Amino acid sequence: MFWEIKGHKSIPEPNMQILIYGLIKAYCNAANVSCDREVETGRGPVDFVFTGDRRIRVIMEVKKLNHGEFWGGLESQTPIYARGLQVDRAIYLAIRNSSTKAMNKRWGQLDAIAKHASRVNRVKITVERIDVMPRLPASDSHKTDYASDTGEQDDAEA
């Protein structure tokens, strides 16, 4: 669902956001929480805004793990969007689309970097993860976990 049929490339990030929106919309409706996409913050659009009663308002920024501005999205972009919407809670959704050594390191550093960014920016940033790496069938599990050892090409260094 998150990978193009031909080749070893994940679908573009905006397409992933549409898929995620489709998955969470029903849950939000059931919980009486509105979910809006691409809400303008005054400094650019944030990917998602969740609003419940007066006490619940959370933003969510989505980035593929190999995105060239991955850390900037967590350390700078998300806090700027939160301040623009006067929100003190944010979710940074990291989508794992590569398993290179550099991306594995990045995946492992997420919580520590988010904790630091939260403290510095006075915004509670919670990291959530979706691992979209293709998996081998169980019958081939003796080979390796992933269908491809590396996933797609990385856009940036760790």
The CATH number of the domain holding residue 55 is 3.40.1350
Q: Domain tally for the chain? A: 1
Say if 67 falls within a structural domain.
yes
Distance, CA of 60 to CA of 37 (rounded, Å): 9
Can you tell me the distance from the alpha carbon of 68 to that of 157, in angstroms, rounded to the nearest whole number?
Answer: 8
pLDDT on residue 88? 92
User: Token pair 């489709």 is at which residue?
Assistant: 22
Residues 66-110 have pLDDT tens digits of 889 999 999 999 999 999 999 999 999 999 888 889 989 999 999
Its domain, for residue 73, covers 13-140
Q: Note the pLDDT tens digit of each residue in 102-128.
A: 989 999 999 999 999 999 999 999 999
Q: Which residue has the tokens 């849950």?
A: 27
68, part of any domain: yes
On whether residue 151 sits in a domain, the answer given is no
Separation CA 111–CA 102 (nearest Å): 16
Q: What percent of the chain has pLDDT over 70?
A: 81
Single out the residue of 67, 65, 77 nearest to residue 117, CA to CA.
Answer: 77
In a domain, 46, yes or no: yes
Q: What is the DSSP string of 111-155?
A: HHHHHHHHHHHT-EEEEEEEE---B--GGGTTT-SBSSSSBSPPS
- Please state, rounded to an integer, the average pLDDT across all residues of the chain: 84
pTM attached to this predicted model:
0.82
Asked if the model's pLDDT at residue 154 lies above 60, the reply is no
